[in-house]
């Protein structure tokens, strides 16, 4: 720390790194550039959608559709963002969503109603998160391995519970939440839940000690420990949080699809990680934003929507999706290069 506060060399947004408050401001600004570039990508997609399918794409119903479809994976991604910022990874999110949804719909077939389904979804999610957290924080397991084990066992358990069957939900109060009648000021309830989770996630990350500890653990766990942070407990909470998000997502998925199936949440882990990375979260930890992740999710969902509206086949869709991931990350690196 002997380096004096030096003026920026080339670009205006480069804040001095040694002094705490300006560095903060610099990070904020960089984050903004990143956010702007993501918004730019999203805007470009909207233009493409508007040009190729003006009537179908620029339609209130379509906006509702895109946001609804972003909700389930979006909630999962918020939890995932916290875990990745802390330097961890959660590969089990999709499997937890599957397990929570089939367990909750098993309850549904036994007439426990709305409360039973919601409670079971969240409880199973939190329970799986707790196991992940304990294994990682107190069992000393690498997150990759612990959550990989959870992925395998939760999927297996989900298959065992369902026997490969599709468990159809018949509880009207749950199903009604997916209908048009339930929209609040034109906003589907699922989207409202997604919005609330996003806002809480943003507040938690940016306005609380919990958020600062998360960033600190991800930046340098040893330094965080020396600074008096209970790193293990923090990690436990983070995987609990991710599990909680999965439980909520499972409930949303039950509303959306009206059923529980062991194949639910397939590849959510990769979608959530991809959305977070596109959103500017460092896979090595220490940096990331909720807004970025949510924009990442919206970009993905919008792409899928445009592809479907233009009747592109799935092979073409996959190729284009890969290309757009690369493009989005490249654009970001150029606009928000950090040194």
Partner 1 sequence: MPQQLTSRRGLLFGTAAVSAGALLTGCTSNEPKEKEQAADNQPAADDQPGKQVTIGFAGPQADHGWLNAINENAKSRAEKYQDVTLEITEGSNDTAAQIGQIETLINKKVDVLVILPADGKALTQVGLKAMRAGIPVINLDRIFNTPQAYRCWIGGDNYGMGLNAGHYIGEKLKGTSDARVIELAGLDNLELTRQRTQGFDDALKNYPNIRKVARQAADFTVESGQAKMAQLLQAQSQFDALWNHDDDQGVGALRAIEQAGRDDFLMVGGAGALSAFQAIKQDDGVLKATVLYPPTMAASAIDLARALGQGKGVGGLAEYEIPASLTLYSAVVDKTNVDQYMSTGFE
Residues near partner 1 (CB under 8 A): 53, 55-56, 59, 61-62, 65, 68-69, 159, 163-166, 168, 178-180, 253, 256-259, 261-266, 304-305, 308-311, 313-315
In the bound state with partner 1, the residue whose beta carbon lies nearer, of 314 and 339, is 314
- Smallest gap from Cβ 147 to partner 1, in A, equals 21
In the bound state with partner 1, the residue whose beta carbon lies nearer, of 33 and 308, is 308
SS3 168: strand
In the bound state with partner 1, the residue whose beta carbon lies nearer, of 214 and 305, is 305
Separation between Cα atoms, residue 301 and residue 59, nearest integer Å: 16
In the bound state with partner 1, the residue whose beta carbon lies nearer, of 13 and 56, is 56
247-268 residues labelled b (16+ CB within 10 A) or e (exposed): bbbbbbbbbbbbbbbbebbeeb
Separation between Cα atoms, residue 293 and residue 273, nearest integer Å: 9
- Smallest gap from Cβ 329 to partner 1, in A, equals 25
Token digits for 36?
Answer: 């702007």
CB atoms within 10 A of CB 186: 11
In the bound state with partner 1, the residue whose beta carbon lies nearer, of 2 and 314, is 314
Q: Supply angle C-alpha 105, 200, 265, rounded to 5.
A: 35
- Residue 318 half-sphere exposure toward CB, CA atoms < 13 A: 2
- Smallest gap from Cβ 326 to partner 1, in A, equals 22
- Smallest gap from Cβ 40 to partner 1, in A, equals 24
- Smallest gap from Cβ 110 to partner 1, in A, equals 16
Q: Tell me the β-bridge partners of 167.
A: 260
List Cβ neighbours of 333 (8 Å cut-off, separation of 6 or more): none
210: exposed, middle or buried (C-beta count within 10 Å: 0-12, 13-18, 19+)? middle
Separation between Cα atoms, residue 244 and residue 308, nearest integer Å: 31
In the bound state with partner 1, the residue whose beta carbon lies nearer, of 61 and 233, is 61
- Smallest gap from Cβ 180 to partner 1, in A, equals 6
Spell out the alpha helix ranges (H) of the chain: 20-52, 54-57, 60-85, 93-109, 113-133, 143-162, 172-176, 189-207, 209-219, 221-226, 231-257, 268-278, 290-309, 314-335
In the bound state with partner 1, the residue whose beta carbon lies nearer, of 188 and 296, is 188
- Smallest gap from Cβ 108 to partner 1, in A, equals 14
In the bound state with partner 1, the residue whose beta carbon lies nearer, of 190 and 217, is 190
In the bound state with partner 1, the residue whose beta carbon lies nearer, of 11 and 314, is 314
Contacts for 13-16 with beta carbons within 8 Å, 24 or more apart? 14/339
Helical (H) or strand (E) element with 11 = none
Token digits for 146?
Answer: 């612990």
- Smallest gap from Cβ 319 to partner 1, in A, equals 13
- Smallest gap from Cβ 55 to partner 1, in A, equals 8
């Amino acid at each position: 720390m002997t380096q004096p506060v030096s003026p920026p060399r080339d670009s205006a947004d480069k804040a001095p790194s040694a002094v705490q408050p300006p560095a903060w401001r610099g990070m904020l600004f960089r984050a903004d550039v990143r956010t702007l570039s993501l918004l730019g990508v999203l805007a470009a997609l909207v233009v493409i959608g508007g040009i190729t399918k003006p009537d179908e794409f620029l339609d209130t119903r379509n906006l509702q559709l895109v946001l609804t479809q972003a909700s389930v994976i979006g909630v999962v991604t918020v939890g995932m963002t916290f875990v990745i910022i802390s330097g961890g990874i959660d590969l089990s999110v999709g499997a937890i969503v599957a397990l929570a949804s089939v367990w909750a719909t098993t309850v549904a077939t036994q007439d426990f109603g709305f409360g039973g389904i919601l409670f079971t979804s969240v409880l199973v999610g939190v329970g799986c998160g707790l196991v992940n957290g304990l294994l990682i924080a107190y069992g000393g397991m690498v997150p990759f391995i612990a959550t990989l084990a959870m992925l395998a066992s939760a999927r297996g358990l989900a298959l065992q519970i369902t026997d490969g069957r599709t468990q159809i939900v018949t509880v009207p109060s749950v199903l009604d939440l997916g209908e048009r009648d339930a929209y609040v000021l034109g906003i589907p309830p699922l989207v409202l839940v997604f919005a609330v989770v996003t806002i809480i996630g943003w507040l938690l990350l940016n306005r609380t000690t919990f958020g600062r500890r998360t960033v600190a653990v991800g930046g340098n766990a040893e330094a965080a420990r020396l600074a008096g942070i209970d790193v293990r407990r923090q990690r436990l909470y983070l995987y609990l949080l991710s599990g909680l998000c999965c439980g909520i997502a499972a409930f949303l998925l039950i509303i959306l699809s009206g059923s529980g199936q062991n194949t639910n949440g397939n590849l959510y882990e990769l979608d959530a990680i991809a959305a977070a990375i596109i959103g500017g979260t460092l896979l090595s930890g220490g940096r990331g934003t909720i807004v970025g992740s949510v924009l990442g999710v919206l970009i993905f969902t919008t792409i899928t929507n445009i592809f479907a509206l233009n009747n592109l086949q799935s092979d073409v869709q996959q190729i284009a999706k890969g290309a757009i991931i690369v493009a989005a990350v490249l654009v970001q690196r150029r606009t928000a290069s950090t040194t």
